[in-house]
A and B are shown apart, each in its own frame.
Chain A
Amino acid sequence: MPNLSNEISNSIKDAYQKQQVLNISAGKTKQFYGRNINAKSLSLTEHAGIIEYEPTELYITARSGTPLAEIEQMVADHNQILPCEPPRFGDNATLGGTIACGLAGPRRVSAGNVRDCVLGTEIINGKGETLRFGGKVMKNVAGYDVSRLMCGALGTLGAIMSISIRLLPKPEKEETIAITIDCTTAIDKLNQWAKTPMPISASFYDGSELYIRLSSSESAIKACKKSIGGELINNHGSFWNGVKEQTHAFFKTDKPLWRISVPSNTRLLNINGDSVMEWNGALRWYSTNEDQKTVRTEAIKAGGHATLFKGGVTDQIFHPLPKVSFDLHKKLKQVFDPANILNPGKMFTEL
C-alpha cells in the first residue's frame, strides 16, 4: 500500500497557505460522531498499510488508512488483540479514525482506553509539518505525551499518519453469563465484583439481564462462574459484537442516543427514556427525547459528562468545557493548527 505522506503534507501546506478548511476523514464510518462541518474533504483512506508488526514485541505500527478489520485479523492470526476493543461502525473503519474518535469498546474496563494502548503517532500538523511523538515501546517519557493527545481529538490537532499500538495476548478462553437482576442490584454487584480479582472483561445490562464476560483460563472461568451464578449464553461473540457495534436491539432507536460517562457506582440517573449500561456501570446509554439541559445536569450531578452520540439536533455534541479548560483547548489548537483549517468546529464551535 502506498505511503502518501508527502501528498497529504502538500495538500495541508497548500490549504494552510490558502486558509482552506479541510474535513479529514477516511472510512467515514463515524461521520455521525461530532459536529457537522462544511469543508473540503481530505481523505486518508489511500494512506494505508501495516508498516511493522512484531508479535513478540506486542505492538503493531500501521498507516492511518489501514482498515481496522485488516489489523484485527492480522493480530488475531498471532493470537493477539487490540486491548481497547474499538467499535468499527462499518466495514470501512480505519485505524486513524479509531484513534481520532478515541472510542473504546466493552473491554475498556479491563484493558484500558484507546489512548492507553497508543504508543506513538506520526501526524501532519496544520502547517503541513510531519511530526512524530512517542514510539514503539511501552515505557517512554521523553517529551510531552502528544501522541495520546491525538486520541479523541477528532482530527482537529493534526492529520494522523501512522500509529503504533500496544497489543495484548488473546485470552485463553472467554465465556459470558447472564443474570436476571434489577438495575440497582446490578450496579452494586458490578462494583462489588470489580473489587475482586475476578477476570471480568466486559459487562452489559439491558434493563433486566446483566451480561458478564469472563476472560481467562478455563479453570479460572469455571471458578468465577460458580461465584457469580447465572446462565451461560450461546453465541456470546456475536452478542458482544452487537453491543460494541451498536447493532443490539437497544440501539435501533429513532430517538437521540446519549452516551453518559459516570463513576461506576452512580445510581440510576433521573432521565426518562430507555437505557443500557456498560463498563461496570461507568458508561450509560440513553435513548431519550429529554432536552439536553436535563441530560447534562443529571450527568454533572453524578460527577460525569454526557455526549449526544447520535441523532438529535443540538449543536452542542460534547459536554461544554469550563472556561479555563476551553481557553487551553483554543491555545493548543493554535499550536497545532494556527490557521484553524483541520476539522474546524468538529468538536466545539471554536475548535
Chain B
Amino acid sequence: MQTSFTPEFIQTADGERVNKILRKCVHCGFCNATCPTYQLTGNELDGPRGRIYLIKNFFEDNNANASKEIASKHLDRCLTCLACETTCPSGVQYGELIDIGRKHINTSLERPVLSKIKRKLILNIFSSSKRTSMLLAITRICKPFLPTTLASKIPAKINLPRHSSSQNEPHTTFTRKMFTIKGCVQNAAAPQINLATKKALESSGIQLDEINSPCCGALAHHLTELEHAHSTIRKNIDYWHQMLTSEYNNLLINSSGCSSFIKQYITVMQDDNDYAEKAKFISERCIDLSELANELTVNTSLDKNKTIAFHSPCTLQHGQQINGKIEEKLKQAGYSLVKVIDSHLCCGSAGTYSLLETDMSSKLLKDKVTNLQQYQPDIIATANIGCLMHLQSATKIPVKHWIELIA
C-alpha cells in the first residue's frame, strides 16, 4: 500500500515499523473474512483492513482531533485475536501495528472520566490475585441479589483437595525443571488448573515449581497502560531471568493468553535498551503447556468416555500459531472430539475486552457457545482462563482447562 508519511515520522522507531508493516499490506481484504467484529457489524471500520487504514490516516495526518476519537473507538473494538494474521496472505503484522496505533492514538486522546475510572479499576483489581479473590468473595455473597446476566459471570468457588489423589506414581527423578507463575485471575478463580498442571508434568518426569509472580503484564498492555505494563514486565524479567539462568530450563505457562504475551516481550521491550536482550531470552524460554502435550502421561483413572468440544483460544491458534496439539492429545487419551464450526473465531473474552466492550463481547459469546454446543458435548475444553470463565458464564456444560482432563 502506498504511504505518505512525513520524513520525521519515518525516522522514529515506531514510524519505521509502521511504514514497513503497511508497505506489506495490499488491501486485499482477506483479513475481514475471519475478523469476528467485522462479521458482526459488516463495517469496514470494524475489520483489520479498515483499522489499518485508520492507523495509516492517523499517522499521515495526526492533527485532526476528531479522527482520534473515531479511530480509538474502532481500535478499542478490536479483540486483538489475530485471526487476521493467520488469514493474511502477505504476512502483515497487524498485532504489532495495532499496538503502535493504540499507543499513539490512546495516549493523545482524553478518554471520558467514567471510562478512565473503569479501566483503572479493571487494571488494579484483576492484575492482582488477591484483589480478584476479594472481589469474587464479595460477589459470591451478593450473587442471589444480582441480575442473572451478571451473576452468571461469577465462577463457582473451587475447593481444592488437600492431598493429591493421583493414581500415577510421581517420578522421583526429573529430566527437566520448569517453573510457572501463580498469576492473577486464574489463581483466584481456578487454582486447580495449576495443581493439575503440576501433577501432569511431574508424573511425566518434569519438575514444576510455582512462583509468586502476580501478572505477566498483558492486562495493562491491553489497556494501553504502557508504563504500568513495562514496570510489571521489568520486574518479571529481573525475577525470571535469574531463575532461568540458574536451575530452571523453562518458564511454563498453562494459560495461552499469558504465554502468548510473554512470548511477545521481545517486541514489547525492543526499545528498552536495558531489557531488550533479557526480554528476548525470556520470550524464547517461555513455553505454552500445549507444546508439551504429547509428552504428558495421561491419568488412567479419569473417565474418558466423554465427548469434548475444544475451543482453541485465539492466543494459542493465532497468537502462537499452535494448532492441533491439544486436540490430538485429548483424542489419544481416549476422548472423542466433536466438530466445532467457525473454530477460528474469538469467544469475545479477549482479556479485558469482555468488560469493556460488553455488547460486542456478548454477541460473540452467544455465537461461540451455540457452535460449541451444536453436537451436545459433555465437556467444553479450552486452554486459557479468560476463555474458560467467559464461556462458562453462558453454558451449563462444564468448561474445563484441558489439563484437567489429562492429569
A–B: direct contact at CB < 8 Å: no
